[in-house]
Structure 1
Amino acid sequence: MGFLSSRRKRARIAPELDDQELGRLLKSLRSTSRTGTIATTDLCVAQISRFLDQGGSDWDRRTHRISVLAEFLAASQLPRSWAARQPDNATALVLHAWAQVVHARAREDRGGTVGAAESCLRAAELAPGDPTPWVALLKVARWERWRQPQVFGVWNEVLARDRWNREAYMSMLAYLAPEEAGSRLQILEFVDALGARMPANAPCAATELTAQVHQYHAILGRGGYEALVARTHWNQGMAAHALDRVAHSWAQPGFLRHARTVADLNLLAYALMAADRRADARAVFDAVGGIVTAWPWEAGGDPLTEFEQAQRRATVGM
C-alpha cells in the first residue's frame, strides 16, 4: 500500500495543505519580500489580490486561503497597507481584520484589534454575498469577548451565506468551550444540533470529532489516574460514536472534498491512534499523504515527530 512505499513523501507541515496554488503563492511572497525593494508591497498585494479574486464563489476555498494568508502575514504591515490604500476593497479589509486577530492572539494583546470589527462590517457592505467578512468578524468577536447574543448574531450571518462553513463552526466550537464563554453542556448541544442535519461530507464534518479530541486533551491535562486511562474515552458513548461514524468513510477517495480535508484526516488519524485502532488508521495515514497539521499532534510534543511515530506504530505487524 502507499504508506509502505519507499517513495512515500517525507512528512512535512504545510499550512496550505494540499492547495498547490496557495503553496506557490506563499513561496512567491517569501521570495518577493526578500528583495527589499520599495515596490515589494505593491508586488505582494498584486499577487494576493489576483490570487484571491480567481476563486469566485467557492466560499470554502476562499475562507481557507484567507485564513492561511492571514496567519502568514500577521506579523507584517502588508495587510494594513493594502487596506489603507484600498479602503473599498472587501478582500483587503477582511485580510487585514483577520491578520489583526491572529497577531493580537499571538501577543495576547486584547487591544490589538482596534478597528477590525469596522473593517469586517465595511467589507460585508461591499460584498454582501461573501461570508468571509462575517467569519472574520466572528474571530474578532471571540477575541474581544462579545456577549453571546452578539456572537450568535454574527454566526447567523455566516450561515445565511455559507451553511456549512468549516472555519465558522470551529470558531463557535472554541467560543462555546468553558475556556472562552460557554460550558461543556453548550458544546454538547451545539454538536448534537449540527449532527442532526449536516451532510456526512460537509466542510464542517469534523466539528464533532474536534470536540471529542478537545475533551480527550482535557482529560490528559488533568494528569494522574485519569490521564493514565484516557484512552478509554474513545471506547465510550459519544466519543466512540463520533469515531465510528467517520473511521472508514473519510479515507475513501473523493468522499471529503473541502479545502481542509487533509486537516480533518490528520485529526482522524490522531483520534484512531489515541483509541489504539491501528488497522483503521493505516488507510487514513495513506490518505494524508505526509502533509501534517500542527494540531492535534503538537499536544504530545513536536508535531512531525509525533505524526511519524504514530504512523510507524500503525504499520507494526504488517
Structure 2
Amino acid sequence: MSILRRLRASGPRMLPELDDVKLGRVRRQLTSAGIPGQSGIQIDQIERLLQETGADWDRRTHRLAVLAEAAAPSGLARAWRMRRPHSGDAMVFEAWVELVRGRHDGRMADARSVAADCRRAAEALPEDPAPWVVLLGILRLIGADTRELFPVWHEVTSRDPWNREAHLQMLRYLSPEERGSRSSQLEFLDAVRSGVPSDAPAVGVELTALVDEHARTLARGGVEALLVRRQWTNHRALRALDAALAHWPRAGHLRYAAAQADLNVLAYALVQAGRPREGAGVFDLIGDTVTPWPWSLDGDPLRQFGYWQAKALG
C-alpha cells in the first residue's frame, strides 16, 4: 500500500476476514440485523463461498473459521443442517460453530456428540482436513489425552501438511498451561522449523510461540516481567525474527489466507524486541488490517497498532 493510499485510508480496522473481500461481504451479512426469511439466503451465500475454494484447504479453513465465529450467536448452523442433513459442509460448519461456542464458554455441553459429527463430516468429505481440524480443537478444549489427539493431528497433516489452524492448536495444546510442557512445545517447534517452507501457512508458528512466551512472562510479573525484552535477544528469538524479516515483507511472498494475521504477529514481535523501525515494510504490507491478538496484550489493539505503525513508518 502506498503512502498516499494509507493517508486516504480511514485508519486501522479489525477485519476477521483479513483481505478476503468475498468472505467479508458474507460475514457482514451474517452479523447484520436479522430479517425474517434471510437464513435461506445466508446459507446459499455460505455454500457458494465454500464451494468456490475447491481443494484450497488453507482458504477453506480460514473461511470456515471466520464464518463460524460470525454465525455462533445465531441458529443459522442448525438451520443449514436441518435444510441439508447429509451435507458434509453443513455438518462441519455446525461442528465448528459448536466449537466456537465452547471456546467462549470454556466448555462444551456435549463435546462427544459434536466430535461424532466431525467424524461423520469426515466420511462425507474424505479429502477435506476441516472436519479433523475441528475435532482437534474439540479435543484440545476438553483436555483429551495425547493418545487421542495425535491420531487426529495426523489425519489433518496427511491431507494438509502445513494447516495453520491445526499447527496453532497443537502449539497451545503442548504448552505448559495445557497438556504439555516447555520441552514438548520446543520439540514440536523444532520439528516444524526443520520442514516448513518459508511461505507455508504454518510459517508463523514459532513467532506465535515467542509472543505466547512474552505474554506468559508478563503475566507472572516481578523482575522477569521488567526484563522481558531480554527474551527477544536470545538465539531462538533472533533467528525467528531475522528469518521472518528476510522473507515475509517481500510483496507477494506470503499468499496464504491468514498472511496478514502473521504479519501482525511479526510487527508486534519487532516492537517488543525494540526493533520497530525494522518493521516499516511489515507495517506497510499490513496496511490498516489489525488483528486483535497480539496487540490486545498491551491494551486497545487499534490504538496500540496505530501508535507503533506511525513510529515504524516515521
TM-score (norm 2): 0.96
Identity of matched residues, %: 44
Give 1:24's aligned amino acid: R
Distance in 2, Cα, partners of 1:3 & 1:173: 37
Distance in 2, Cα, partners of 1:252 & 1:3: 17
Aligned to 1:136: 134
Match of 1:292, SS state, is coil
Aligned to 2:124: 126
Aligned to 1:12: 13
- 8 Å CA contact 1:9, 1:289 repeated in 2: no
Distance in 1, Cα, partners of 2:140 & 2:82: 24
Distance in 2, Cα, partners of 1:3 & 1:69: 32
Aligned to 1:217: 215
Match of 2:131, SS state, is helix
Poorly superposed stretches of 4+, deviation over 6 Å: none
Which range moves more in the overlay, 83-92 or 270-279? 83-92
Q: Note the C-alpha offset of 1:3.
A: 4.9
Q: Note the C-alpha offset of 1:191.
A: 0.4
Output one character per residue of 1:190-246: Cα deviation in whole Å (capped at 9) or x when no partner. Answer: 000111111111110001111111011111112122111111111112111111111
Aligned to 1:205: 203
Aligned to 2:28: 27
- 8 Å CA contact 1:14, 1:292 repeated in 2: yes
2:287 counterpart (289, 292, 301): 289
- 8 Å CA contact 1:209, 1:243 repeated in 2: yes
Match of 2:247, SS state, is coil
- 8 Å CA contact 1:177, 1:184 repeated in 2: yes
Distance in 1, Cα, partners of 2:120 & 2:241: 41
Give 1:71's aligned amino acid: E
1:189 counterpart (173, 187, 190): 187
Distance in 1, Cα, partners of 2:182 & 2:31: 42
Q: Note the C-alpha offset of 1:114.
A: 5.0
- 8 Å CA contact 2:107, 2:142 repeated in 1: no
Output one character per residue of 1:101-129: Cα deviation in whole Å (capped at 9) or x when no partner. Answer: 11112122342535211111001001100
Aligned to 2:308: 310
Output one character per residue of 1:156-187: Cα deviation in whole Å (capped at 9) or x when no partner. Answer: 00011011111110110011111111111111
Distance in 2, Cα, partners of 1:244 & 1:44: 44
Distance in 1, Cα, partners of 2:111 & 2:177: 20
Structure 1: which 5+ runs fail to align?
none
Aligned to 2:102: 104
Distance in 1, Cα, partners of 2:249 & 2:175: 28
Match of 1:6, SS state, is helix
1:207-246 alignment, distance < 5 Å: 207-246=205-244
Q: Note the C-alpha offset of 1:289.
A: 1.0
Match of 1:124, SS state, is helix
- 8 Å CA contact 1:121, 1:133 repeated in 2: yes
- 8 Å CA contact 2:18, 2:258 repeated in 1: yes
Distance in 2, Cα, partners of 1:224 & 1:313: 28
Match of 2:236, SS state, is helix
1:78-97 alignment, distance < 5 Å: 78-97=76-95
Distance in 2, Cα, partners of 1:80 & 1:96: 6
Distance in 1, Cα, partners of 2:184 & 2:3: 39
Distance in 2, Cα, partners of 1:185 & 1:196: 17
Match of 2:229, SS state, is helix
Which range moves more in the overlay, 186-195 or 273-282? 273-282
Give 1:18's aligned amino acid: D
Which range moves more in the overlay, 205-214 or 246-255? 246-255
- 8 Å CA contact 2:196, 2:203 repeated in 1: yes
Give 1:275's aligned amino acid: A
Match of 1:150, SS state, is helix
